[in-house]
Amino acid sequence: MHEWRDLRDEYLCELLRLEGAADADLVRCPSCNQAEATFRCKQCFGGQMYCGDCTVKMHTKNPLHIIDEWNGEMFSRTSLQELGLRIWLCHDDCVAPAVVENFVSLDIAYIHEISVVFCGCERRHGTERRTALLRKQWYPATHHTPRTAATFNFLNFFIIQTHQAKTTMYDFYTATAHSTCGTGKKLSNRYPEFLHMARQWRHLQLLKRGGRGHDPSGVNGTKPGALAIECPACSRPDVNLLEGWENASAEDRFLYLLFIALDACFRLKRRLVSSELRDPGLGTGWAYFVEQEPYREYLLTTTNESEMSTCSGLAALDYANTKFSRGYSTTGVGMGVCARHEFVQPTGVGDLQKGEQYSNMDWIFSTIMRWKHPCLPKAISYDIICQWFKMLFERLLKMPAVVRFTIVTVLYRFVIPKMHIHSHTLACQLVFSLNFLLGAGQTDGEGIERPWANLGGVATSTREMGPGSRRDTLDSHLSYWNWSKLITIADLLRRRLDKARIEQREQEEAFTAFCTEQGSVSRIGA
């Protein structure tokens, strides 16, 4: 920066030079050498100026570029539409082209008004207007006579921005509008259409990546949890375990121990707006959220719970029935992840209606466990396990048949995360400590807090959504979270292995030295 400060005048002059005609020859177009060159594309490389006809010919394959016109003193914004470009979306020998003027296209950084030519004759080859747009990688805002579309690049860029930076739809659209025109000029408002397109696009990406387009049963054949990205490292019989694993000796069973962490987050609220009828989910239950209808029916059968904690340092249950529920349809979210690798579990997320009640967490726990092999040893981590564990077996027996299962006590262990356990009484610490669990290693059980931190950025926008939109949005973000974990898990496991080997050597050396010293002391005492 010290060196660059001396170059500021040079850089500034170059920027101002590009605001003018620079070295362009304004006499003749370099392409046809006939008309005057007064048009420049802001996105084509080089910034060369051409005449209007040549500019149109050069942009038949790039119809969404931004064009400036030189008026002798300055550049002013024009468009390829004003220069006569028509975007042809029908077959070459169409005898009845249908021109749609002022068609609006949303592209990265710009909102365009363009002219589109659809096929209006009987030889449409079976393609509707929406199909013609999709085949050009433009997503239609409606399936009935679309007049607005978004490029696939635009939608993909939004998805990346909202997943990584937690950019809201409003901010993304507004930024695109300001990039198109920063003078305050009113543009065609396509924000409502963008909301629908973005939601549909998210859902379609889940379906495509879940392989639904290749399944003969199609979209409607999607099973619960089928669109979730599962952890490749956790024990999964018939996937990553050798045959005969269930016959392992008692001292080796810890090798197959499956860690599941449960928790609730009260930031992911939803106001009492809209309804399931007005705003249904596009695929609720197909990925991370529980199936909504059986979940709702089950909650209607539960009574108002009043269990309170007897653990002196625990506060979560003290507000089980009063957790800021006034004015909210949903007061938070309960979730389960694999505690070692932090993958959100299929159908492992559910809305909370009135705090962290047992009925909600029982259902979420049951819907997670129904996908797990019954013979796998399991460790369940939960910050209020000392209370939730009480009468758990009896409550599970009363669950609906769709999620009911029986806990084989010898295969289950219940623990408290290592940081949270310090808030519990000594009795809890002695019974539920991970340090006393064979095979726990360095597992701390706190990994579930990290997805909450990641989702915190979308809490303000999902709070105002309808129920279906909110679940679809959170499913999309959770899928991105799991994908991020999937592409980095190999490096993570390698780092952990290298660290474990180093620590193993250090512990073996320390243990050997200790034993040698103890042996010397014993001989001296003898």
Is residue 402 within 8 Å of 294, Cβ to Cβ?
yes
**pLDDT of the residue at 126:** 54
pLDDT reading at 37 higher than 80? yes
520 pLDDT band, cuts 50/70/90, is: low
Q: pLDDT digits over 251-298, tens only? A: 888 999 999 999 999 999 999 999 989 999 999 999 999 999 999 999
Q: Within a 13 Å sphere around the CA of 254, how many CA atoms are in the beta-carbon half?
A: 9
381 phi/psi in degrees, rounded to 5? -105, 130
Least confident of 88-92, 175-179, 275-279: 88-92
Is residue 49 within 8 Å of 75, Cβ to Cβ?
no
Four-CA torsion 99, 102, 104, 110, nearest 10 degrees: 130
What is the pLDDT averaged over residues 423-432?
A: 91
53 pLDDT band, cuts 50/70/90, is: very high
Q: Shortest CA distance to 187 belongs to which of 107, 106, 111, 108?
A: 111
**pLDDT of the residue at 189:** 94
Q: pLDDT digits over 234-243, tens only? A: 999 999 999 9
22 pLDDT band, cuts 50/70/90, is: confident
Least confident of 199-213, 384-398, 445-459: 384-398
Which of the given ranges, 28-37, 224-233, 322-331, has the highest pLDDT on average?
224-233
SS3 at position 66? coil
What pTM does this model have?
0.91
Q: pLDDT digits over 358-384, tens only? A: 899 999 999 999 989 999 999 999 999
**pLDDT of the residue at 509:** 93
Is residue 321 within 8 Å of 256, Cβ to Cβ?
no
pLDDT reading at 322 higher than 70? no
Domain range annotation of the chain: 18-78, 87-219, 256-489
SS3 at position 350? strand
Q: What percent of the chain has pLDDT over 90?
A: 70
**pLDDT of the residue at 266:** 92
Strands 87-88 and 110-119 turn out to be parallel
Q: pLDDT digits over 183-228, tens only? A: 888 888 999 999 999 999 999 999 999 999 999 999 999 999 999 9
Question: Crossing angle, helix 467-525 and helix 191-209, to 10 degrees?
Answer: 50
- What's the chain's length in residues? 526
Position with higher pLDDT, 251 vs 56? 56
Joined tokens for residue 13: 């002059």
**pLDDT of the residue at 308:** 45
Question: What are the beta bridge partners of residue 159?
Answer: none
pLDDT reading at 300 higher than 60? yes
pLDDT reading at 409 higher than 80? yes
| Mean pLDDT over the full length of the chain | 90
Name every residue whose Cβ is closer than 8 Å to that of residue 365 and which is 6 or more positions away in sequence. 262, 336, 380
